[in-house]
Amino acid sequence: MPWWGSAIAQNMSVTVPPPDPASPGALPAIGTTRPVIIAASHGWRAKLNHAARDLGETFRLWPLVWTLSLFDIRLRYRGSLLGPFWLTLSTAVMIGAMGFLYARLFHQNVGGYLPFLTVSLILWSFISTVTSEGATCFTQSESMLRSMRMPHSLHAARVVVRNLLVLAHNIVVVAAVFMIFHIVPSLSAFSLVPAALLWCMDAFALSLLLGIFGARFRDIPPIINSVMQIAFYITPIMWNPDMLAHRGLARVLVEFNPFFGIMEIMRGPLLHQPIAPFSWLLAVGYSALLCLFAGLVFIRARPRIPYWV
């Protein structure tokens, strides 16, 4: 039996009794003196092997993930003149309108606040979109899950690659703001490479985890949207964390915010801001917990996903 069909065979037991010698026309059969039991292995080791093969197949089929992600973007902006650059244009207009206003409200220098706001909003847009779309990655692919033999984790990877392409379009806004304010990346920008890899790993684990819960409990997507709205206001996105330098408890709460560390390791190198080792420690620690929990849930729930959707 193929590894992807193990869910069908779980807990299935069929007993084949031997033929009755006294019945007319009964033919002797070899190996029918004992009952034959067909049962699938459903232990943790078998589930772990199936989950590992699923993930391996997803990485092997990365051209398919890329093609499906491009198809999603083309389908979303079909018939428009600018395509995904409409999102880039709307982001630029929003940053331009909000930057000068909030710089005045927070008594910040425009030259320092506007680049901070630009990088923060674009990075947060990626996090928020991956979170909301990841919660529906399996339910949105219901027809493919039921009609095609493909790894389940491919649908979570599809969400990540699709949003990475959108993020690449929005990088144009960051480049334009940096050119206006004469911000030149320094050598610290090389730390963006491990930070970007950590972001991709977290996005994939988060999409996989929330997608499973979203398939099992249909209340998860609206709950996630509400939680992300709250997280937007308590995370230093619109306001600079330096504003809480003399507020002890508030500063501690912000620093232990799971989104703060992951934002700092990407935002700091771009804005020439020093990154505290504590931020990297928190980012790596939260990422390890997220990946571990997502892996355990995926190992446990992977065979049930087609039935939940």
The rounded distance, in Å, linking the Cα atoms of 256 and 278 is 10
Mean pLDDT, residues 245-254: 70
Query: What's at 105, amino acid-wise?
Result: L
Three-state DSSP at 197 gives helix
Q: According to the model, what pLDDT value does residue 1 have?
A: 43
Say which range, 30-34, 207-211, 278-282, has the weakest mean pLDDT: 30-34
DSSP assignment string, 256-275: T-HHHHHHHHHHHHHTT-PP
DSSP 14: E
Average pLDDT, the chain: 83
188: Cβ–Cβ under 8 A, 6 or more apart, which residues?
Answer: 268, 269, 272
Written as six digits, the tokens of 50 are 């199936």
Say which range, 34-38, 164-168, 247-251, 286-290, has the weakest mean pLDDT: 34-38
For 228-247, give one letter per residue: b (16+ CB within 10 A) or e. Answer: beebeeebbbbbbbeebeee
Q: Count other C-beta atoms under 10 Å from residue 208's C-beta.
A: 28
For residue 195, give the nearest of 300, 275, 255 by alpha carbon: 275
Question: What pTM value is reported for the model?
Answer: 0.81
pLDDT over threshold 60, residue 181:
yes
Q: According to the model, what pLDDT value does residue 42 have?
A: 61
